[in-house]
Amino acid sequence: MDRISWNKRVKEFAPKSGAFLQSYEWGEFQASIGRKVERVLVEDERGVMLAQAIMLDLPFGQTYWQVSKGPFGTMPITEMTRELVERLPGGSFVRVEPEIAPKKAWKTKDVQPSVTSILDLTVGKEAIAAGMKPKTRYNIRLAERKGVTVRASAEPVIEDLERLLEQTAVRDRFSLHPLTYYAKMLEAMKGGEAVASLAFADYDGRPLAANVTIDFNGQRTYLHGASSNLHRNVMAPYALHQYLIDEAIDAGMTSYDFWGVAPVGASKKHSWAGITQFKLGFGGEIVTAPGTYDVPTNAIVYGLYRASKVVQKMVRIVRR
Protein backbone atom coordinates (compact mmCIF):
# COMPACT_ATOMS: atom_id res chain seq x y z
CA MET A 1 0.00 0.00 0.00
CA ASP A 2 1.10 3.58 -0.53
CA ARG A 3 1.77 5.98 2.33
CA ILE A 4 -1.58 7.76 2.29
CA SER A 5 -3.63 4.56 2.14
CA TRP A 6 -1.63 2.83 4.87
CA ASN A 7 -1.72 5.77 7.27
CA LYS A 8 -5.45 6.19 6.71
CA ARG A 9 -6.10 2.63 7.88
CA VAL A 10 -3.69 2.97 10.81
CA LYS A 11 -5.50 6.11 11.99
CA GLU A 12 -8.84 4.34 11.68
CA PHE A 13 -7.87 1.61 14.17
CA ALA A 14 -4.97 3.26 16.03
CA PRO A 15 -4.10 2.18 19.59
CA LYS A 16 -4.28 4.80 22.34
CA SER A 17 -0.50 4.99 22.61
CA GLY A 18 2.26 4.45 20.08
CA ALA A 19 0.35 4.61 16.79
CA PHE A 20 3.35 6.40 15.25
CA LEU A 21 5.25 3.09 15.39
CA GLN A 22 2.78 1.74 12.85
CA SER A 23 2.94 4.79 10.60
CA TYR A 24 4.31 4.48 7.09
CA GLU A 25 6.99 7.06 7.91
CA TRP A 26 8.30 5.03 10.86
CA GLY A 27 8.63 2.03 8.55
CA GLU A 28 10.55 4.11 6.04
CA PHE A 29 12.88 5.30 8.80
CA GLN A 30 13.51 1.70 9.83
CA ALA A 31 14.23 0.79 6.21
CA SER A 32 16.69 3.70 5.98
CA ILE A 33 18.83 2.13 8.72
CA GLY A 34 18.95 -1.18 6.89
CA ARG A 35 16.05 -3.11 8.39
CA LYS A 36 13.52 -5.14 6.44
CA VAL A 37 9.95 -3.86 6.78
CA GLU A 38 6.71 -5.68 5.98
CA ARG A 39 3.22 -4.20 6.18
CA VAL A 40 0.36 -6.64 6.62
CA LEU A 41 -3.28 -5.74 6.05
CA VAL A 42 -5.96 -8.43 6.19
CA GLU A 43 -9.64 -7.62 5.76
CA ASP A 44 -12.27 -10.35 5.51
CA GLU A 45 -15.36 -11.70 7.28
CA ARG A 46 -13.34 -12.00 10.54
CA GLY A 47 -12.59 -8.28 10.62
CA VAL A 48 -9.57 -6.09 9.94
CA MET A 49 -5.95 -6.58 11.03
CA LEU A 50 -2.99 -4.26 10.48
CA ALA A 51 0.63 -4.79 11.43
CA GLN A 52 3.87 -3.14 10.40
CA ALA A 53 6.67 -5.60 11.16
CA ILE A 54 10.40 -4.93 11.42
CA MET A 55 12.88 -7.79 11.02
CA LEU A 56 15.62 -7.76 13.68
CA ASP A 57 18.72 -9.89 14.12
CA LEU A 58 19.45 -12.66 16.61
CA PRO A 59 22.79 -14.42 17.21
CA PHE A 60 24.00 -17.13 14.84
CA GLY A 61 22.29 -15.68 11.79
CA GLN A 62 18.74 -16.00 13.16
CA THR A 63 16.09 -13.28 12.97
CA TYR A 64 12.69 -12.36 14.38
CA TRP A 65 9.86 -9.99 13.50
CA GLN A 66 8.90 -7.15 15.82
CA VAL A 67 5.42 -5.63 15.64
CA SER A 68 5.53 -2.62 17.96
CA LYS A 69 2.13 -1.57 19.35
CA GLY A 70 0.38 -4.08 17.13
CA PRO A 71 -1.23 -5.97 15.58
CA PHE A 72 -4.48 -4.05 15.88
CA GLY A 73 -7.90 -3.80 14.28
CA THR A 74 -11.21 -5.61 14.78
CA MET A 75 -10.12 -9.20 14.13
CA PRO A 76 -9.87 -11.52 17.17
CA ILE A 77 -6.34 -11.58 18.59
CA THR A 78 -6.00 -15.33 17.97
CA GLU A 79 -6.71 -14.79 14.28
CA MET A 80 -4.33 -11.83 14.16
CA THR A 81 -1.39 -13.80 15.50
CA ARG A 82 -2.18 -16.73 13.20
CA GLU A 83 -2.13 -14.41 10.20
CA LEU A 84 1.19 -12.89 11.25
CA VAL A 85 2.83 -16.31 11.61
CA GLU A 86 1.65 -17.23 8.13
CA ARG A 87 2.50 -13.91 6.45
CA LEU A 88 5.87 -13.14 8.06
CA PRO A 89 8.22 -15.94 6.99
CA GLY A 90 11.88 -16.32 7.90
CA GLY A 91 11.87 -15.36 11.58
CA SER A 92 12.18 -17.58 14.64
CA PHE A 93 9.31 -15.78 16.37
CA VAL A 94 7.01 -12.78 16.06
CA ARG A 95 7.18 -10.25 18.90
CA VAL A 96 3.87 -8.44 19.33
CA GLU A 97 2.36 -5.70 21.52
CA PRO A 98 -1.41 -5.95 20.96
CA GLU A 99 -4.18 -4.29 22.95
CA ILE A 100 -5.45 -7.72 24.07
CA ALA A 101 -3.05 -10.33 25.47
CA PRO A 102 -2.67 -13.22 23.00
CA LYS A 103 -3.02 -16.86 23.91
CA LYS A 104 -0.28 -19.40 23.11
CA ALA A 105 2.36 -16.70 23.43
CA TRP A 106 5.24 -16.09 25.81
CA LYS A 107 5.22 -12.95 27.94
CA THR A 108 8.57 -11.20 27.68
CA LYS A 109 10.19 -7.98 28.84
CA ASP A 110 8.49 -4.88 27.49
CA VAL A 111 10.06 -3.38 24.38
CA GLN A 112 7.79 -0.35 24.20
CA PRO A 113 6.18 1.00 27.39
CA SER A 114 3.10 -0.94 28.49
CA VAL A 115 2.10 1.79 30.95
CA THR A 116 2.09 5.45 30.04
CA SER A 117 0.52 8.79 30.92
CA ILE A 118 -1.48 10.63 28.27
CA LEU A 119 -2.48 14.26 28.68
CA ASP A 120 -5.77 15.38 27.12
CA LEU A 121 -5.00 18.58 25.23
CA THR A 122 -8.58 19.31 24.23
CA VAL A 123 -9.37 20.71 27.68
CA GLY A 124 -7.15 23.73 26.98
CA LYS A 125 -4.12 25.36 28.55
CA GLU A 126 -5.82 26.73 31.68
CA ALA A 127 -7.36 23.39 32.62
CA ILE A 128 -4.06 21.59 32.03
CA ALA A 129 -2.21 24.07 34.24
CA ALA A 130 -4.84 23.65 36.95
CA GLY A 131 -4.44 19.87 36.79
CA MET A 132 -0.68 19.94 37.31
CA LYS A 133 0.84 19.20 40.69
CA PRO A 134 1.80 22.39 42.55
CA LYS A 135 5.51 21.52 42.46
CA THR A 136 5.37 21.16 38.66
CA ARG A 137 3.71 24.55 38.24
CA TYR A 138 6.30 26.06 40.57
CA ASN A 139 9.21 24.58 38.62
CA ILE A 140 7.81 25.82 35.31
CA ARG A 141 7.57 29.36 36.73
CA LEU A 142 11.04 29.01 38.26
CA ALA A 143 12.55 28.10 34.88
CA GLU A 144 10.92 31.17 33.38
CA ARG A 145 12.22 33.44 36.13
CA LYS A 146 15.72 32.01 35.76
CA GLY A 147 15.69 32.89 32.07
CA VAL A 148 15.41 29.42 30.51
CA THR A 149 14.38 29.72 26.85
CA VAL A 150 13.12 27.06 24.46
CA ARG A 151 13.81 26.71 20.76
CA ALA A 152 12.54 24.28 18.19
CA SER A 153 15.39 23.09 16.02
CA ALA A 154 14.39 23.41 12.37
CA GLU A 155 17.83 22.11 11.38
CA PRO A 156 18.62 19.66 14.20
CA VAL A 157 21.85 20.37 16.05
CA ILE A 158 22.78 16.72 16.41
CA GLU A 159 26.03 17.45 18.26
CA ASP A 160 24.12 19.13 21.12
CA LEU A 161 21.61 16.27 21.25
CA GLU A 162 24.36 13.64 21.32
CA ARG A 163 26.21 15.41 24.13
CA LEU A 164 23.08 15.59 26.28
CA LEU A 165 22.11 11.99 25.52
CA GLU A 166 25.53 10.72 26.54
CA GLN A 167 25.42 12.62 29.84
CA THR A 168 21.93 11.34 30.59
CA ALA A 169 22.79 7.73 29.74
CA VAL A 170 25.77 7.73 32.12
CA ARG A 171 23.87 9.49 34.90
CA ASP A 172 20.70 7.38 34.69
CA ARG A 173 22.39 4.12 33.65
CA PHE A 174 20.58 3.26 30.44
CA SER A 175 21.70 2.22 26.98
CA LEU A 176 21.57 4.45 23.93
CA HIS A 177 20.87 3.63 20.33
CA PRO A 178 23.88 4.30 18.09
CA LEU A 179 24.02 8.09 17.91
CA THR A 180 23.45 8.00 14.14
CA TYR A 181 20.02 6.47 14.88
CA TYR A 182 18.64 9.77 16.20
CA ALA A 183 20.01 11.81 13.30
CA LYS A 184 18.54 9.41 10.75
CA MET A 185 15.16 9.45 12.49
CA LEU A 186 14.98 13.24 12.35
CA GLU A 187 16.03 13.20 8.71
CA ALA A 188 13.70 10.41 7.57
CA MET A 189 10.66 11.74 9.45
CA LYS A 190 10.75 15.44 8.67
CA GLY A 191 7.89 15.27 6.20
CA GLY A 192 4.70 13.32 5.75
CA GLU A 193 2.08 12.66 8.40
CA ALA A 194 4.34 11.27 11.14
CA VAL A 195 6.90 13.97 11.94
CA ALA A 196 9.88 13.77 14.29
CA SER A 197 11.08 17.04 15.82
CA LEU A 198 13.83 18.21 18.13
CA ALA A 199 13.61 21.02 20.67
CA PHE A 200 16.10 22.42 23.20
CA ALA A 201 15.85 24.33 26.46
CA ASP A 202 18.76 26.79 26.83
CA TYR A 203 20.20 28.64 29.79
CA ASP A 204 22.98 31.21 29.64
CA GLY A 205 23.62 30.34 26.00
CA ARG A 206 24.00 26.62 26.69
CA PRO A 207 21.58 23.78 25.81
CA LEU A 208 20.50 22.09 29.05
CA ALA A 209 17.72 19.78 27.86
CA ALA A 210 16.52 18.25 24.61
CA ASN A 211 13.39 16.34 23.61
CA VAL A 212 12.68 14.33 20.47
CA THR A 213 8.94 14.15 19.81
CA ILE A 214 6.86 12.52 17.11
CA ASP A 215 3.52 13.91 15.96
CA PHE A 216 1.02 11.54 14.38
CA ASN A 217 -2.76 11.23 14.30
CA GLY A 218 -3.28 14.21 16.59
CA GLN A 219 -0.95 12.86 19.27
CA ARG A 220 2.45 14.23 20.24
CA THR A 221 4.71 11.57 21.78
CA TYR A 222 7.69 12.43 23.97
CA LEU A 223 9.96 9.71 22.61
CA HIS A 224 13.46 10.65 23.76
CA GLY A 225 14.67 13.12 26.35
CA ALA A 226 18.06 14.21 27.66
CA SER A 227 19.40 16.78 30.07
CA SER A 228 22.72 18.24 31.13
CA ASN A 229 24.48 17.66 34.43
CA LEU A 230 24.93 21.44 34.67
CA HIS A 231 22.50 24.00 36.15
CA ARG A 232 19.93 21.40 37.16
CA ASN A 233 18.48 23.95 39.61
CA VAL A 234 16.99 26.04 36.77
CA MET A 235 14.50 23.24 35.89
CA ALA A 236 15.05 23.35 32.12
CA PRO A 237 13.15 20.07 31.37
CA TYR A 238 9.98 21.55 32.89
CA ALA A 239 10.14 24.57 30.61
CA LEU A 240 10.75 22.33 27.62
CA HIS A 241 7.70 20.15 28.21
CA GLN A 242 5.51 23.18 28.90
CA TYR A 243 6.58 24.64 25.57
CA LEU A 244 5.92 21.40 23.69
CA ILE A 245 2.50 20.97 25.29
CA ASP A 246 1.48 24.55 24.47
CA GLU A 247 2.78 24.21 20.92
CA ALA A 248 0.83 20.97 20.43
CA ILE A 249 -2.37 22.67 21.62
CA ASP A 250 -1.78 25.60 19.26
CA ALA A 251 -1.30 23.12 16.41
CA GLY A 252 -4.68 21.52 17.13
CA MET A 253 -3.37 18.24 18.54
CA THR A 254 -5.55 16.30 20.95
CA SER A 255 -3.14 14.44 23.25
CA TYR A 256 0.41 14.38 24.62
CA ASP A 257 1.88 10.95 25.39
CA PHE A 258 4.67 10.98 27.98
CA TRP A 259 5.75 7.54 26.68
CA GLY A 260 6.26 5.37 29.70
CA VAL A 261 5.73 5.48 33.46
CA ALA A 262 6.14 2.90 36.21
CA PRO A 263 3.12 0.65 36.84
CA VAL A 264 0.55 1.89 39.34
CA GLY A 265 1.61 0.85 42.83
CA ALA A 266 5.24 0.26 41.85
CA SER A 267 7.89 0.57 44.54
CA LYS A 268 9.80 3.80 45.02
CA LYS A 269 12.84 1.70 44.09
CA HIS A 270 11.46 1.05 40.60
CA SER A 271 13.97 2.15 37.97
CA TRP A 272 11.40 4.56 36.52
CA ALA A 273 10.28 6.02 39.85
CA GLY A 274 12.01 9.37 39.37
CA ILE A 275 10.95 9.96 35.77
CA THR A 276 7.43 8.82 36.64
CA GLN A 277 7.13 11.43 39.37
CA PHE A 278 8.31 14.06 36.89
CA LYS A 279 5.87 13.04 34.16
CA LEU A 280 2.83 12.60 36.41
CA GLY A 281 3.39 16.08 37.74
CA PHE A 282 1.93 17.40 34.46
CA GLY A 283 -1.30 15.46 34.99
CA GLY A 284 -2.74 13.00 32.50
CA GLU A 285 -4.49 9.65 32.41
CA ILE A 286 -2.68 6.38 33.07
CA VAL A 287 -3.12 4.05 30.07
CA THR A 288 -2.13 0.39 30.39
CA ALA A 289 -1.56 -2.24 27.69
CA PRO A 290 -0.86 -5.98 28.13
CA GLY A 291 2.81 -5.62 27.19
CA THR A 292 5.13 -7.58 24.91
CA TYR A 293 4.64 -11.21 23.83
CA ASP A 294 6.54 -13.66 21.66
CA VAL A 295 4.71 -15.98 19.28
CA PRO A 296 7.19 -18.75 18.29
CA THR A 297 7.41 -19.84 14.67
CA ASN A 298 10.47 -22.07 15.13
CA ALA A 299 10.06 -23.93 18.42
CA ILE A 300 13.64 -25.22 18.59
CA VAL A 301 15.34 -21.88 17.92
CA TYR A 302 12.93 -20.06 20.22
CA GLY A 303 13.59 -22.57 23.00
CA LEU A 304 17.32 -21.98 22.67
CA TYR A 305 16.75 -18.23 22.66
CA ARG A 306 14.71 -18.41 25.88
CA ALA A 307 17.34 -20.60 27.51
CA SER A 308 20.10 -18.14 26.60
CA LYS A 309 18.13 -15.31 28.24
CA VAL A 310 17.82 -17.31 31.46
CA VAL A 311 21.57 -17.95 31.47
CA GLN A 312 22.32 -14.26 30.87
CA LYS A 313 20.06 -13.28 33.77
CA MET A 314 21.78 -15.75 36.09
CA VAL A 315 25.20 -14.42 35.11
CA ARG A 316 24.09 -10.85 35.87
CA ILE A 317 22.83 -11.92 39.31
CA VAL A 318 26.09 -13.72 40.12
CA ARG A 319 28.14 -10.64 39.10
CA ARG A 320 26.27 -8.29 41.41
Mean pLDDT of the chain: 94
* pTM, two decimal places: 0.95
User: 174 and 85, same structural domain?
Assistant: no
Kindly tell me if the per-residue pLDDT of 170 is higher than 70: yes
Pairing assessment for the beta strands 255-257 and 219-227 based on DSSP bridges: parallel
**Count of the separate structural domains present in the chain:** 2
Q: Domain span at residue 14? A: 3-111+289-319
- pLDDT of the residue at 318: 64
Instruction: Say how far apart CA 75 and CA 28 lie, in whole Å.
Output: 26
User: 269 and 146, same structural domain?
Assistant: yes
Instruction: Say how far apart CA 103 and CA 41 lie, in whole Å.
Output: 21
The DSSP H or E segment spanning 80 is helix 77-87
Task: For the chain, give the percent of residues with pLDDT over 70.
Answer: 97
User: 128 and 101, same structural domain?
Assistant: no
Confidence grade of residue 173 (pLDDT, cut at 50, 70, 90): confident
User: 213 and 121, same structural domain?
Assistant: yes
Contacts with 30 (C-beta within 8 Å, 6 or more apart), sequence order = 37, 54
> What mean pLDDT do residues 35-54 have?
98
User: 305 and 253, same structural domain?
Assistant: no
User: 154 and 98, same structural domain?
Assistant: no
Confidence grade of residue 174 (pLDDT, cut at 50, 70, 90): confident
Q: Which of 16-20, 120-124, 184-188 has the lowest mean pLDDT?
A: 184-188
Kindly tell me if the per-residue pLDDT of 292 is higher than 90: yes
Confidence grade of residue 232 (pLDDT, cut at 50, 70, 90): very high
Instruction: Say how far apart CA 284 and CA 289 lie, in whole Å.
Output: 16
User: 300 and 284, same structural domain?
Assistant: no
- pLDDT of the residue at 312: 76
- pLDDT of the residue at 317: 65
Q: 202-208: list long-range contacts, CB under 8 Å, 24+ apart.
A: 202/148, 202/149, 202/150, 202/151, 202/236, 203/146, 203/147, 203/148, 203/149, 203/231, 203/234, 203/236, 204/147, 204/231, 206/230, 206/231, 207/157, 207/160, 207/164, 208/148, 208/164, 208/234, 208/236
Q: What is the CATH number of the domain that holds 190?
A: 3.40.630.30
Inter-CA distances, 134 with 130, 139, 265, Å? 9, 9, 22
pLDDT one-digit tens code per residue, 59-85? 889 999 999 999 999 999 999 999 999
Instruction: Say how far apart CA 254 and CA 246 lie, in whole Å.
Output: 11
User: 309 and 227, same structural domain?
Assistant: no
Single-letter residue type at 45: E
User: 77 and 44, same structural domain?
Assistant: yes
pLDDT one-digit tens code per residue, 233-265? 999 999 999 999 999 999 999 999 999 999 999
Instruction: Say how far apart CA 193 and CA 84 lie, in whole Å.
Output: 26
User: 13 and 138, same structural domain?
Assistant: no
| Residue 20 φ then ψ, to 5° | -60, -30
User: 267 and 217, same structural domain?
Assistant: yes
Confidence grade of residue 315 (pLDDT, cut at 50, 70, 90): low
Kindly tell me if the per-residue pLDDT of 188 is higher than 90: yes
User: 270 and 124, same structural domain?
Assistant: yes
